[in-house]
Amino acid sequence: MRSMNSIEFDNPLFHEGINTTCRIGLRSFIVGQPIFLTKCGEVLHTAEVVCVFQGAFFDLPEDLFAEEHDPECCDYSSLLAMMKSLYEDFEEDDYVTMIGFILDNQ
pLDDT at 1: 43
Q: What is the pTM of this model?
A: 0.91
DSSP 14: -
- Looking at per-residue pLDDT, the higher value among 67 and 106 belongs to 67
86: Cβ contacts below 8 Å, ≥ 6 apart:
24
Q: How many domains does the chain have?
A: 1
- Structural domain for 35, as ranges: 5-103
Per-residue b or e along 19-45, where b marks 16 or more CB atoms closer than 10 Å to that residue's CB:
bbbbbeeeeebeeebebbbeeeeeeeb
CATH code, domain carrying 34: 3.10.400.10
**pLDDT tens digits for range 50-105:** 999 999 999 999 999 999 999 999 999 999 999 999 999 999 999 999 999 999 98
pLDDT at 3: 61
